[in-house]
Structure 1
Amino acid sequence: MSISTVFKRAALAATVAVSTLSLQAMAGEDGKCNTNMAINYLVPPKVTPQLVEQLRTAYSAQEVRIERPGEAHTKEFNPFRLRLLVNEDNFLNTQICG
């Protein structure tokens, strides 16, 4: 394994840990997804059940919907839902409330 691969993996792990842990203090209220949140990643993470739960907790959302390219979804706004938009390879593109 090359030094650059090790560095990239370490940077990704540190970014995810710091982003998730530092945002818990800014939690929303009453189970509504916190629209004031903005978590940005240096390297987009692969969406795993652990990451989904970390983001749900950080955004204080009651539910999470993962949206993949080509899938159909309803357009109604749900203030209690976090939407995770992923690419074809299951890497996180963006996260938004609603």
Structure 2
Amino acid sequence: MSAYKAFKACVPIEWSDKLYITLVRGMPGTRELHRRTLEALRLRKCNRRVVRKNTPTVRGMLQQVKRLVAIETKEMYEARKQKEANHRALRPPLVINHHHSSPSN
């Protein structure tokens, strides 16, 4: 299981009025119909993200190119961003005290 799928599994999926769509695979070697669909979604380069309204038209387009894109709801997107921010946050320094004990005779 990929890290992305593992993350998706831990976030509850709810209805969202906006979809965050990221192109995760390249367009070379894909069908012309898929390339035109990605152009219509304004996804031209890998790892680019667009925000679209959750409409039946957009969902139909995403169904065509579902193997090329990652789709997140607003809640999933915010949870992932929060997790990344927590990972990058400064952590308190690790303090190690080396108490040299004197030998007792």
Fold-level similarity (TM above 0.5): no
TM-score (norm 2): 0.23
| Length-normalised TM-score, structure 1 | 0.24
Which has the larger Rg? 2
